[in-house]
C-alpha cells in the first residue's frame, strides 16, 4: 500500500508536467486536441492525489507503523476520528492534503463550461499545474509521507496533544481550503495577462470562487481563535502569534480586493490595483504556508524545522518575480477607463478602505517578520509582542468600522456636500449620543472603547437605514408586507445585502473585541480546600470561587485528567459549579490546561487550573472575566451567514436583471 501511494504521487507529478506542456502548445498552435489532453491530464492529477490520500488514510486506520508518518502521528490509543484527522496532523501529511485540495479546485475549474473565457483555460491549466508541481514535488522528494522505517514499531507516538480538540481538527482543513481556493482567481488573472485581456471578464468569472476562498479563510481564522480560547488556557482568542498572523495577512489583502473589484465593475477603474492585490494575496498564501513549515519563526502552531524551508523560499521568489514581471509588461493594457471624479464618492471611500486594509496588512507583516529581519541585520532576534500589534492596528481597525458606515451613503462619481450632510444627520446623531451616554451611564469610560462603540453605532444606523430604504421601497411599489419585502430585497440583490449582513457580523465581533481588549480582568490565587477567592468586574459584578477539591477522572486512553471543582457565587448567590481540568498525555509527557466557563449573558467567567500540591489540599487557579466575549462568536456566525448569502448563485431572472443594470451603469459612466 505505501508503494501504491507513492506511485500515485509520482504519476500526479508526471501528469502535471505533461498538462503544462500540452496546454501551452495547444493554445499556441490552436490544437483543441492538445488542450483536451491537457485537461484530462489535469483531472488525472486530481485522481492520482485522491488515490494517495485514500492510501494514507488506510495506513493510518490500520496502524501501519512501519510507515514513518503513521508512527509519528497516531498510536493504539487514538480514536478513529483522530486517526482520520492525523492526515494533516504533521508536516508531510499536511503537504499531501494541501496538494490534494489544490488539485480538487483545479479539477473543479476544468469541469465547468466556461464559454466566453475558454480562451483563458489553457493558461489557467498551465498556471495551476505549475503550482501543483511544486507541492507534489515536495511530497515525492523531501517530504514523502509514504517513507518506510527499517523496522515495524509496536506502537506510534500519537498526535500532538494540542490537536485533540474538535476546533483544531476542523480548523486546518477549513483554513487550507481558504488558502488553496485563491489559486482560481490568481490563475485566471495570470491567464488574462498572458493573453493581453483588457477587460474585467476574468474577475467577474472568478468572483464567486474568490468569495468562497475568502469565506473559508475567514472561517479558518474564527475556528483558530475558538481553538485558542478553548484549549490554550490563556484566556484569549488571538495572541498575534506568527502563524496566526500568517493566515490573517492574506485575508487582510483579499478583503480590499473584494471591495475594489466593485469599483472596476461599475467604473472601469483600479484594474492595475486589483491585479496587484490578487498577485499579492496568493503570494502571501504561499508565504504563510512557508512560515508554518520552515521553522524560521517559533510558534505553537509550526511544524519542526526541515529541509523544505529553502525550497519554499525559492518557489515564492520565482512565482512572485514571474507574476510581477508579467504584471509590469502588461501595465499599459490595465489602464483605467475613468478617473476619480471627487473625494466625496463611493469609489474614493472604497479606495481609502483599501489603503486602511493594506496598512494593517503591512503592519502585521512587518511585526511578524521583524525577528527574521532583526537577526539578519543586527545579529539579534528581536520578537515583537502583542502590545505593538494592538497599538499599531487598533486605530486602523476602528477607522475601517467608520468607513463601513460612510461608504453606503456615497453614490458613484460624486455627491453634493448638502446631500451628504443630510444623509449623515441621523447616523452622526446616533454616534454622538452613544459617545456621550456611554461614559455617563455605563462602565465604558476608556476613550478608545467609547470612540469605537460610537463608530459601531454610526455604522449600524447607516446599515439599518439601507435595509429600511429598500424594504420600504418594495412595500410601497409592490404592496408586499415588510417581511416579504425584506426577503425579496435580499433575494434580488444578494451581493449588496449579503455584504451588509457581513458588516453586521463585523460590528458584533467588534463589540466582543473591544470588551476583551479594554476590560478583561484576571487574577491568580492559591487556595486551600474550602477556601475562596474573588474576582470582580464592573460589567458582571463580583464572583466568589470556593475550592471544593481535586479528583482524578478517566480520560481518553493514554491521558490522565486532574479536575478542580469550584463553586461559583455571583454577588453572594451560588449560581454554578465549574470544573476546569489538566490533561496529561503520558506518552508525550505533555500537559494541556482546559478551562471551564460560567456564562453570564454575553460575558464569561473563565477559569483554569494553574497547579496543585501533591496531597490535593491546595491548588492554584487563574480566573478571567471576559466581558462581551460572546459577541465575537455571535458576530462570526452572522459574518459567515452573510457571506453565504452574498456568494449564493442568483436565479436566471435575477442574473438577467443584474446584467441589464450593469449595462445601464456602463452607459451612464460613458
Higher pLDDT, 399 or 203: 399
Listed residue (427, 458, 410, 404) closest to 642, CA to CA: 404
Residue 435 lies in a domain: no
Identify the residue with better confidence: 234 or 512: 512
pLDDT single digits (tens) 260-273: 888 888 888 888 99
Which residue has 429600511 as its cell numbers?
468
For residue 111, the tally of other CB atoms under 10 A from its CB is 10
Give the cell for residue 413.
462619481
CA angle 668, 669, 670 (to 5 degrees): 90
Round to whole Å and give the CA distance between 213 and 179: 7
Q: What is the mean pLDDT of the chain?
A: 88
Cell numbers found for residue 317: 521568489
Cβ contacts of 497 within 8 Å, gap of 6 or more: 467, 470, 489, 490, 645
Q: Averaged over 505-511, what is the pLDDT?
A: 96
Q: What is the pLDDT of residues 185-217, one digit of tens each?
A: 999 999 999 998 877 888 888 888 999 999 999
pLDDT of residue 413: 79
Alpha helices for 147-206 (secondary structure H): 166-181, 183-194, 201-205
Q: How confident is the model at residue 344 (pLDDT cuts 50, 70, 90)?
A: confident
Sign, CA torsion 114/116/121/124: negative
Return the higher-pLDDT residue of 155 and 144: 144
For the question of whether the overall pTM of this predicted structure is more than 0.85, the answer is yes
- Helix (H), strand (E) at residue 517: helix 494-519
Looking at the 3D structure of the chain, how many domains does it have? 3
pLDDT at residue 412 in the model: 81
Shared domain for 462 and 324, answered yes or no, is no
Output the pLDDT for position 295: 59
Q: Is the pLDDT of residue 418 over 50?
A: yes
Question: Is 36 a member of any domain?
Answer: yes
Residue 276 pLDDT exceeds 60? yes
Burial of residue 664 (CB within 10 Å: 0-12, 13-18, 19+) is exposed
Could you tell me if 530 and 478 lie in one domain? no
Q: How big is the chain, counted in residues?
A: 670
On whether residue 579 sits in a domain, the answer given is: yes
3-class SS of residue 476: helix
pLDDT for residue 338 is more than 50: yes
Q: Taken in order 293, 294, 295, 296, is the CA torsion positive or negative?
A: negative
Q: What is the rounded distance in angstroms from the CA atom of residue 463 to the CA atom of residue 457?
A: 10
The C-alpha cell 483554569 sits at: 608
Residues 30 and 72 in one domain: yes
pLDDT surpassing 80 at residue 312: yes
For residues 372-386, give the mean pLDDT.
84
Q: Of 342, 361, 396, which residue constitutes the final position of a domain?
A: 342
Q: Where on the phi/psi map is residue 413: left (φ > 0), alpha (ψ -120 to 50), or beta? A: left
What's the N-to-C CA distance of the chain in angstroms? 63
Q: Which of 59-68, 302-311, 326-335, 627-636 has the lowest mean pLDDT?
A: 302-311
Phi–psi pair at 268, nearest 5 degrees? 70, 25
Residue 378: count of CB within 10 angstroms of its CB: 9
**C-alpha to C-alpha distances, 402 to 248, 340, 387, nearest whole angstrom:** 21, 21, 23
573 with 481, same domain: the answer is: no
Neighbouring-strand partners of residue 560: 554, 584
> Distance (Å, rounded) from C-alpha 109 to C-alpha 112?
6
Question: What beta strand segments (E) does 194-288 contain?
Answer: none
**Residue 505 near residue 640, CB atoms below 8 Å:** yes
Residue 130 has pLDDT above 70, yes or no: yes
Compute the distance between CA of residue 284 and CA of residue 249 in angstroms, rounded to an integer.
7
Q: Which tens digit of pLDDT belongs to each residue from 71-101?
A: 999 988 888 888 998 998 888 999 999 999 9
Region 604-617 average pLDDT: 91
Dihedral Cα 291, 296, 301, 307, nearest 10 deg: 80
Burial of 278: CB neighbours in 10 Å, binned 0-12, 13-18, 19+: buried
Which three-class secondary structure state does DSSP give residue 182? coil
Query: Which of the four pLDDT bands, split at 50, 70 and 90, describes residue 116?
Result: confident
CB–CB of 348/340 below 8 Å? yes
Same domain, 589 and 658: no
Residue 334 lies in a domain: yes
Alpha carbon distance 129, 425 (integer Å): 54
Angle, CA 668 vertex, CA 662 and CA 670 arms, to 5°:
105
Nearest by Cα to 203 from 132, 120, 131, 128? 120
The residues near 29 (Cβ < 8 Å, ≥ 6 apart) are none
Using a 10 angstrom Cβ sphere, with 0-12 exposed, 13-18 middle and 19 or more buried, the burial of residue 571 is exposed
Q: Which of 614, 556, 669, 631 is nearest to 158 (CA)?
A: 556
Whole-number Å distance between alpha carbons of 528 and 263: 64
- Looking at the structure, tell me whether residues 616 and 651 fall in a common domain: no
Asked whether residue 48 falls in the same domain as residue 152, the answer is yes
Residue 420: band (very low, low, confident or very high) from pLDDT cuts 50, 70, 90: confident
Q: Averaged over 516-530, what is the pLDDT?
A: 94
Same domain, 640 and 609: no
Query: Does some domain include residue 438?
Result: no
Say yes or no: 9 and 138 in one domain: yes
pLDDT tens, position by position, 553-595 = 887 777 889 999 999 999 889 999 999 999 888 877 888 889 9
What is the domain extent for residue 78? 2-226+259-342
Angstrom distances, CA of residue 312 to CA of 46, 287, 307, 317, 375:
22, 8, 9, 9, 20
Predicted local confidence at residue 509, as pLDDT: 96
**Does residue 8 form part of some domain?**
yes
Same domain, 185 and 325: yes
pLDDT tier at 544, thresholds 50, 70, 90: very high
Q: What is the pLDDT of residue 564?
A: 93
Q: CA–CA distance from 594 to each of 161, 162, 359, 630 (Å)?
A: 12, 11, 36, 18
Same domain (yes/no): 157, 306: yes
Mean pLDDT of 534-543: 93
Q: Is residue 365 part of a domain?
A: no
What percent of the chain is predicted at pLDDT more than 90?
Answer: 58
Q: Which of 279-283, 336-340, 633-637 has the lowest mean pLDDT?
A: 336-340
pLDDT value for 662: 41
- Say whether both 186 and 284 belong to one domain: yes
Task: Classify residue 331: in a domain, yes or no.
Answer: yes
Cell of 196: 493581453
Predicted pLDDT at 597: 95
Amino acid at each position: 500500500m505505501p508503494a501504491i501511494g507513492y506511485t500515485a504521487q509520482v504519476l500526479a507529478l508526471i501528469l502535471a508536467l505533461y498538462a503544462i506542456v500540452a496546454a501551452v502548445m495547444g493554445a499556441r498552435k490552436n490544437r483543441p486536441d492538445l488542450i483536451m489532453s491537457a485537461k484530462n491530464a489535469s483531472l488525472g492529477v486530481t485522481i492520482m492525489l485522491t488515490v494517495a490520500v485514500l492510501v494514507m488514510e488506510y495506513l493510518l486506520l490500520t496502524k501501519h507503523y512501519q510507515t514513518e508518518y503513521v508512527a509519528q502521528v497516531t498510536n493504539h490509543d487514538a480514536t478513529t476520528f483522530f486517526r482520520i484527522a492525523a492526515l494533516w496532523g504533521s508536516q508531510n501529511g499536511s503537504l499531501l492534503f494541501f496538494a490534494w485540495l489544490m488539485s480538487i479546485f483545479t479539477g473543479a475549474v476544468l469541469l465547468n463550461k466556461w464559454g466566453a473565457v475558454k480562451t483563458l483555460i489553457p493558461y489557467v491549466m498551465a498556471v495551476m499545474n505549475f503550482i501543483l508541481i511544486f507541492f507534489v514535488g515536495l511530497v515525492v522528494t523531501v517530504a514523502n509521507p509514504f517513507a518506510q522505517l527499517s523496522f515495524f514499531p509496536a506502537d506510534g507516538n500519537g498526535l500532538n496533544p494540542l490537536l485533540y480538540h474538535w476546533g483544531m481538527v476542523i480548523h486546518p482543513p477549513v483554513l487550507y481550503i481558504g488558502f488553496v481556493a485563491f489559486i482560481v482567481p490568481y490563475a485566471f488573472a495570470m491567464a488574462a495577462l498572458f493573453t493581453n485581456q483588457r477587460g474585467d471578464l476574468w474577475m467577474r468569472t472568478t468572483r464567486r470562487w474568490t468569495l468562497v476562498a475568502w469565506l473559508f479563510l475567514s472561517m479558518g481564522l474564527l475556528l483558530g481563535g475558538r481553538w485558542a480560547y478553548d484549549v490554550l488556557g490563556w484566556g484569549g482568542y488571538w495572541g498575534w502569534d506568527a502563524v496566526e498572523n500568517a493566515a490573517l495577512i492574506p485575508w487582510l489583502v483579499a478583503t480590499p480586493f473584494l471591495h475594489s473589484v466593485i469599483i472596476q465593475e461599475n467604473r472601469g477603474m483600479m484594474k492595475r490595483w486589483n491585479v496587484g492585490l490578487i498577485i499579492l494575496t496568493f503570494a502571501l498564501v504561499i508565504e504563510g504556508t512557508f512560515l508554518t513549515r520552515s521553522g524560521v519563526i517559533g510558534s505553537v502552531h509550526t511544524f519542526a524545522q526541515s529541509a523544505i524551508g529553502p525550497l519554499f523560499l525559492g518557489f515564492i521568489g520565482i512565482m512572485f518575480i514571474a507574476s510581477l514581471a508579467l504584471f509590469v509588461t502588461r501595465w499599459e493594457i490595465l489602464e483605467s477607463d475613468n478617473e476619480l471624479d471627487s473625494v466625496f464618492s463611493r469609489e474614493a471611500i472604497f479606495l481609502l478602505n483599501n489603503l486602511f486594509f493594506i496598512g494593517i496588512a503591512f503592519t502585521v507583516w512587518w511585526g511578524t517578520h521583524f525577528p527574521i529581519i532583526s537577526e539578519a541585520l543586527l545579529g539579534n532576534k528581536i520578537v515583537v509582542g502583542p502590545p505593538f500589534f494592538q497599538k499599531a492596528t487598533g486605530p486602523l481597525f476602528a477607522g475601517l468600522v467608520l468607513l463601513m458606515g460612510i461608504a453606503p451613503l456615497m453614490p458613484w462619481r460624486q455627491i453634493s456636500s448638502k446631500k451628504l450632510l443630510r444623509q449623515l444627520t441621523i447616523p452622526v446623531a446616533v454616534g454622538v449620543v452613544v459617545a456621550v451616554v456611554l461614559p455617563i451611564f455605563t462602565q465604558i469610560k476608556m476613550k478608545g472603547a467609547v470612540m469605537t462603540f460610537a463608530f459601531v453605532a454610526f455604522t449600524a444606523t447607516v446599515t439599518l437605514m439601507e435595509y429600511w430604504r429598500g424594504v420600504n421601497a418594495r412595500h410601497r411599489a409592490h404592496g408586499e408586507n415588510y417581511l416579504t419585502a425584506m426577503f425579496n430585497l435580499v433575494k434580488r440583490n444578494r451581493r449588496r445585502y449579503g455584504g451588509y449582513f457581513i458588516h453586521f457580523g463585523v460590528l458584533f465581533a467588534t463589540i466582543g473585541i473591544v470588551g476583551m481588549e479594554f476590560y478583561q480582568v484576571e487574577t491568580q490565587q492559591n487556595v486551600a480546600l474550602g477556601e475562596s477567592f474573588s474576582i470582580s468586574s464592573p460589567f458582571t459584578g463580583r464572583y466568589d470561587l470556593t475550592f471544593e477539591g481535586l479528583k482524578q477522572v478517566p480520560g481518553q486512553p493514554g491521558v490522565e485528567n486532574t479536575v478542580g471543582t469550584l463553586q461559583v457565587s455571583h454577588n453572594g448567590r451560588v449560581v454554578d459549579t465549574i470544573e476546569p481540568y489538566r490533561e496529561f498525555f503520558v506518552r508525550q509527557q505533555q500537559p494541556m490546561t482546559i478551562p471551564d466557563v460560567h456564562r453570564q449573558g454575553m460575558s464569561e467567567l473563565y477559569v483554569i487550573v494553574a497547579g496543585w500540591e501533591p496531597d490535593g489540599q491546595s491548588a492554584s487557579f487563574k480566573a478571567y472575566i471576559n466581558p462581551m466575549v460572546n459577541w465575537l462568536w455571535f458576530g462570526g456566525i452572522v459574518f459567515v451567514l452573510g457571506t453565504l448569502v452574498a456568494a449564493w448563485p442568483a436565479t436566471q431572472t435575477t442574473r438577467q436583471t443584474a446584467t441589464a443594470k450593469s449595462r445601464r451603469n456602463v452607459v451612464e459612466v460613458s
